[in-house]
Amino acid sequence: MAKILNGILGKASGKVGGVVAGTWKDKNYVRTHVIPANPNTGGQQTQRQKFSRAVAFAKQFLGTVLNPFVDPFQKSMSGFNYFIKHNVDHFTSTPTYSAVQLVFGKLFIHATTSTVASVADSKVTVTFPTTNGPNGLATDVAYIAVYDRTNKIGYISDGTAKRGDGTVSVNMPVAAFGNYDTYMFFAQYVDGKLMLVSNTAYSDGVGA
């Protein structure tokens, strides 16, 4: 049964006869009800596998990165869905981790080749240039998100490092020289409110 909200010209949802109504990306629609075919072609299987890998990766950073640093800048979808949309094609049978973007923004950050990652004393550390660029501040918070490919676990730094420090570290649970990928980004706050974020700068897999 369909439901009409806010009068005859308002939002509608549900199915009446051969017609379906609903809302997608804040837009109302009415369309013919179609039962989609599912032939499970080779191409569809490949796409589903890429989607599954992208989802597994994103879940490791859902509460620590995607919710706090991607959600606030999206209007019509969650940060999780935005990540999947922009990264799913990188998760082939041999994922291109260097092409993955965790955070998407306009705050200044240097090219990926300007960051260097190292592992020692149960930490992954990234060094980076302290240049502010056109809209950066020395007080911008520097973060690194680290993905442990071996154990498929994600970690993020504690938010105490600043752009002016030139280094940011994240503690790891064990002193292991595993296969890590690091994604550094900046966040700019004004009176405690998040205003801008940068893209992520990738550092090659440590120990790969």
Mean pLDDT per 10-residue interval, the chain, length 208 residues? 50 68 72 75 88 98 98 95 98 95 95 68 86 96 92 93 95 69 95 97 68
Q: Is the pTM of this model over 0.85?
A: no
| CB neighbours of residue 182 within 10 Å | 28
Instruction: Specify the pLDDT at position 146.
Output: 92
Q: Which long-range contacts (CB under 8 A, 24 or more apart) does 130-135 make?
A: 130/163, 130/164, 130/165, 130/166, 132/108, 132/163, 133/108, 133/109, 134/108, 135/106, 135/107, 135/108, 135/188, 135/196
- d(CA 57, CA 143) in angstroms, rounded, equals 18
Q: Could you give the dihedral angle defined by the CA atoms of residues 156, 160, 161 and 165, in that order, rounded to the nearest 10 degrees?
A: -170
Residue 208 has a pLDDT of 44
What is the model's pLDDT at position 169? 92
The pLDDT score that the predictor gives to residue 179 is 79
What's the pLDDT at 15? 66
Specify which residues 14 forms β-bridges with.
Answer: 21
Tokens for 192?
Answer: 């405690």
C-alpha gyration radius of the chain: 21
Cα-to-chain-centroid distance, residue 192: 22
**What's the pLDDT score for residue 158?**
96
Residue 27 has what pLDDT? Answer: 72
